[in-house]
């Protein structure tokens, strides 16, 4: 042959041009042969398919994944040795099929395609088993191996040859002698010696029938169809009338037949699931569990997709396409015990409409896919919507309007109605204006069930206000042992000769109509003494105890509590009157009568050796208000209307020395001055300006 370099230059140019023109035709020739062969495989035209595969191999012997045809740019996996071996297998050339299967395995390309790789292994195993049978001694010479094997494979019988009688009946040319010879031979060669079933774990090794059923179903879902068929055959011998097992067995037979000789689409299978299924012949099942609605509106920048895919041959990939752009392919999930491939993905969304497609692809030789589409609208964040700003604006207007209205109302209350809650001179009866003294009140309430008390303190320290609060608390007190019946008595200006009559009159007026009806009003006062007082006390206590019975509280004892204010008046009474009063409390009514006395001082020295009240009362000195209590009395009554600066409030506490009367006196004058000047804030200079006036009024 002449070397190219010795050719004339025009010849070399012409040769190069011809090679460039013919290259696409050559490329088109091998891909065309291969694709034509695949079409003939679909029609089970094995002889013609083998010719096309041989032609493709002569041009391009090496397999290739993801090849593309030059004509039409059709993508496909180029596995020429595998496809030729497959055609030879069904042409009964098992030795040739094995040679091409081994050749395909040498390239290792098919190992990347699980469905084709598994099918190659099954066919190689079948070809090896058939060759061993043909070469064994005693094999029937007239056995129609090709027809029998292909028919058995198509019917899903595999190499166990179940129901061999019905299978042989499909060949009328086979006489009875040949039929008996075939049956005898297969009887002498059990299934364990003929194929993959010899290596399968026997179903009988499982502990329970339920475990055997699960193992058979798992083998089917993982694509080990021959193993699954063997397991279902064994289960059928244990439960011959189980319709569910029969359905599973028929399904396995169908899949074995479909792998080797694809048939037209069969009726769609149906699985029970909770959402829409995409079910076609051979296509995987795809289920979306989240989101629940196929069409929805969201405000989040991402959407969480959750679901699962399932197929008898397994799932190759689950892909996500968002608005026409494919997301990076997620890693292939692993199946659970039920053969479901669960997936979870965060899908980015754009504002407005979003089209999302989820596609699951199986591992079949001719890959099938199922797709579910979602249409979602991503709404802008709330703070970017007109409704948000409208609602916010309305809310702000409402809040501002409320504040303005509240200010106008407070201005009217403060300046027009001249709001000034402080009380200077009269005792505090309203609980909202009574501040401090909580510890003292609790001590008195703890002591009253057992002892009487004497509370002493300087004038205007708040003793009378304390008595009014005790009256309120004792009336409302729920005690499991005692029922307290308080009577507040002001002794200021009460003459000695009318003292006992005054006590009974106050008790009749304050203890209710039942007591007033039971005790006559003392007339005249001058004829009413301690004996009459004692008799009326017995009547009052009996009446009160009867009232307890009427209320169903017979277990409680009545405690009549005299709250005696301004007891300094007792100092003007004779020692004899004080002794008689003490005797009533200590001897006659000690179990039912107690008293709380308040005054500046009670006389302790009398003409006798000791005072009538010596060691009778528990004496408590009433202190001034603490700083915290004084500041609370200053600020709380006018909160929201007027404001004392910290310096002004501190100065009021110092000047008043913690005496409630002086605190209220300062506050009354300062608030009145604020109303007159129409100012809400009370400052230190105003306190200093009024200090002398307040002291002069207090001293007068």
Q: What 3-state class would DSSP assign to 171?
A: coil
Edge to edge, what strands does the sheet with 285-290 contain? 285-290, 302-310, 340-348
* Alpha-carbon distances of 428 from 266, 472, 633, rounded to whole Å: 96, 12, 12
Judge residue 606's burial from the number of C-beta atoms within 10 Å of its C-beta, 0-12 exposed, 13-18 middle, 19 or more buried.
middle
Mean pLDDT by 10 residues, the chain (700 residues): 40 40 50 88 85 91 80 76 89 87 88 83 76 56 47 43 54 60 54 35 45 73 73 78 72 65 39 35 77 72 88 81 76 72 88 88 78 87 79 86 72 68 78 81 85 83 86 86 89 86 89 87 74 88 79 73 86 84 76 85 60 67 87 87 91 87 86 86 89 70
pLDDT of res. 84:
93
Q: Facing residues of 309 across strands?
A: 286, 341
Q: What are phi and psi of 562, to 5 degrees?
A: -90, 120
Omega of the bond prior to 524 within 30 degrees of 0, cis?
Answer: yes
Nearest 10 degrees: Cα torsion 220, 226, 230, 233: 70
Name residues whose C-beta falls within 8 Å of residue 205's C-beta, 6 or more positions apart in sequence: none
* Alpha-carbon distances of 666 from 357, 463, 535, 630, 654, rounded to whole Å: 80, 19, 49, 12, 12
Omega of the bond prior to 292 within 30 degrees of 0, cis?
Answer: no
Q: Facing residues of 588 across strands?
A: none
Q: The tokens of 572 are what?
A: 């003007």
* Alpha-carbon distances of 353 from 66, 214, 350, 374, 625, rounded to whole Å: 34, 45, 7, 10, 71
Q: For residue 588, give the DSSP letter.
A: I
Q: For residue 155, give the DSSP letter.
A: T
Q: Facing residues of 297 across strands?
A: 377
pLDDT digits (tens, 9 = 90+) for 589-615: 777 888 898 888 776 655 554 555 656
Q: Facing residues of 304 across strands?
A: 346
DSSP states of 227-252: HHHHHHHHHHHH-TT-HHHHHHHHHH
Number of other residues whose CB lies within 10 A of the CB of residue 685: 10
Q: Facing residues of 489 across strands?
A: 564
Q: What are phi and psi of 419, to 5 degrees?
A: -70, 120
Q: Do the Cβ atoms of 67 and 77 come closer than 8 Å?
A: yes
Q: What 3-state class would DSSP assign to 317?
A: strand
Q: The tokens of 590 are what?
A: 């000690």
Q: Do the Cβ atoms of 59 and 25 come closer than 8 Å?
A: no
Q: What are phi and psi of 619, to 5 degrees?
A: -90, 135
Alpha helices for 111-264 (secondary structure H):
114-135, 145-154, 164-168, 176-188, 209-221, 225-238, 243-260
Q: The tokens of 678 are what?
A: 């129409």
* Alpha-carbon distances of 459 from 276, 290, 577, rounded to whole Å: 89, 79, 25
Q: The tokens of 164 are what?
A: 């061999």
Q: The tokens of 583 are what?
A: 């005797």
Q: What 3-state class would DSSP assign to 696?
A: helix
Q: The tokens of 680 are what?
A: 């809400």
Q: What are phi and psi of 319, to 5 degrees?
A: -115, 150
In the predicted model, what is the mean pLDDT of the chain?
Answer: 75
> Which residues in 379-477 belong to E strands, given as ranges?
453-456
DSSP states of 413-436: IIIIS------SSS----GGG--S
Pairwise CA distance, residues 106 & 100, whole Å: 10
Q: The tokens of 687 are what?
A: 């306190």
Name residues whose C-beta falls within 8 Å of residue 214's C-beta, 6 or more positions apart in sequence: 337
Q: What angle do CA 367, 153, 76 make, to 5 degrees?
A: 25
pLDDT of res. 23:
41
Looking up tokens 């694709």 gives 35
Pairwise CA distance, residues 377 & 210, whole Å: 47
Q: What 3-state class would DSSP assign to 554?
A: coil
pLDDT digits (tens, 9 = 90+) for 132-148: 656 654 444 444 444 45
Q: Do the Cβ atoms of 291 and 302 come closer than 8 Å?
A: no
Pairwise CA distance, residues 479 & 557, whole Å: 10
Q: Which of 328, 322, 317, 292 is nearest to 307 (CA)?
A: 292
Pairwise CA distance, residues 603 & 573, whole Å: 10
Sign of the dihedral defined by the CA atoms of residues 630, 448, 492, 427, in that order: positive
């Amino acid at each position: 042959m002449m070397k190219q370099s010795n050719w004339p230059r025009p010849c070399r140019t012409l040769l190069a041009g011809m090679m460039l023109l013919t290259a696409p035709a050559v490329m088109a020739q091998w891909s065309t042969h291969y694709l034509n062969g695949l079409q003939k495989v679909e029609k089970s035209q094995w002889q013609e398919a083998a010719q096309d595969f041989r032609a493709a191999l002569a041009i391009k012997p090496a397999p290739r994944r993801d090849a593309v045809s030059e004509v039409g740019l059709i993508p496909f996996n180029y596995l020429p040795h595998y496809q030729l071996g497959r055609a030879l297998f069904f042409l009964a050339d098992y030795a040739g099929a094995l040679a091409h299967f081994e050749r395909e395995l040498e390239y290792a390309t098919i190992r990347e395609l699980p469905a084709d790789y598994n099918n190659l292994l099954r066919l190689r195993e079948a070809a090896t088993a058939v060759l061993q049978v043909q070469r064994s001694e005693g094999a029937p010479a007239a056995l129609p191996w090709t027809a029998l094997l292909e028919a058995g494979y198509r019917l899903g019988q595999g190499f166990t040859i179940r129901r061999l009688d019905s299978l042989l009946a499909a060949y009328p040319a086979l006489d009875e002698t040949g039929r008996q010879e075939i049956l005898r031979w297969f009887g002498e060669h059990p299934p364990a010696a003929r194929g993959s079933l010899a290596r399968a774990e026997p179903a009988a090794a499982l502990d329970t029938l339920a475990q055997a059923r699960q193992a058979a179903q798992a083998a089917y879902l993982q694509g080990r169809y021959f193993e699954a068929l063997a397991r279902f055959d064994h289960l059928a011998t244990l439960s011959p009338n189980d319709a569910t097992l029969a359905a599973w067995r028929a399904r396995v037979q169908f899949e074995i037949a479909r792998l080797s000789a694809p048939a037209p689409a069969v009726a769609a299978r149906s699985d029970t699931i909770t959402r829409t299924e995409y079910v076609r012949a051979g296509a995987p099942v795809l289920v979306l569990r989240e989101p629940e609605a196929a069409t929805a509106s969201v405000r989040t920048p991402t959407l969480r997709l959750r679901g699962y895919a399932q197929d008898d041959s397994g799932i190759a990939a689950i892909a996500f396409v968002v608005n026409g752009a494919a997301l990076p392919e997620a890693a292939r999930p692993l199946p659970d015990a039920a053969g479901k491939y669960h997936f979870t993905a965060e899908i980015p969304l754009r504002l407005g409409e979003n089209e999302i497609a989820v596609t699951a692809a199986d591992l079949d030789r001719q890959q099938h896919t199922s797709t579910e589409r979602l249409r979602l609208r991503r709404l802008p964040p709330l703070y970017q919507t007109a409704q948000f700003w409208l609602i916010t604006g309305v809310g702000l207007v409402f809040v501002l309007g409320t504040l303005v209205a509240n200010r106008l109302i407070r201005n009217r209350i403060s300046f027009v109605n001249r709001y000034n809650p402080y009380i200077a001179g009269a005792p505090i009866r309203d609980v909202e204006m009574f501040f401090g003294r909580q510890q003292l009140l609790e001590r008195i309430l703890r002591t009253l069930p057992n002892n009487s008390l004497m509370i002493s303190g300087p004038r205007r320290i708040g003793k009378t206000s304390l008595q009014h609060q005790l009256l309120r608390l004792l009336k409302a007190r729920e005690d499991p042992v005692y029922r307290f019946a308080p009577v507040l008595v002001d002794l200021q200006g009460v003459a000695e000769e009318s003292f006992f009559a005054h006590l009974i009159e106050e008790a009749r007026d304050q203890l209710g109509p039942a007591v007033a009806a039971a005790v006559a009003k003392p007339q005249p006062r001058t004829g009413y003494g301690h004996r009459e007082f004692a008799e009326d006390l017995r009547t009052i206590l009996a009446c009160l105890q009867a009232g307890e019975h009427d209320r169903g509280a017979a277990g409680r004892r009545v405690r009549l509590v005299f709250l005696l204010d301004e007891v300094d008046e007792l100092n003007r009474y004779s020692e004899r009157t004080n002794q008689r009063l003490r005797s009533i409390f200590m001897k006659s009514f000690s179990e039912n009568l107690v008293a709380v006395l308040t005054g500046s001082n009670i006389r302790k020295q009398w003409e006798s050796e000791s005072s009538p009240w010596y060691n009778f009362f528990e004496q408590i000195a009433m202190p001034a208000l603490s700083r915290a209590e004084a500041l609370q009395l200053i600020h709380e009554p006018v909160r929201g209307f007027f404001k004392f600066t910290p310096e002004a409030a501190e100065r009021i506490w110092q000047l008043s020395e913690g005496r409630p009367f002086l605190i209220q006196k300062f506050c009354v004058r300062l608030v009145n001055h604020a109303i007159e000047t129409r100012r809400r804030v009370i400052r230190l200079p105003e306190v200093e300006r009024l200090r002398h006036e307040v002291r002069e009024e207090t001293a007068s």
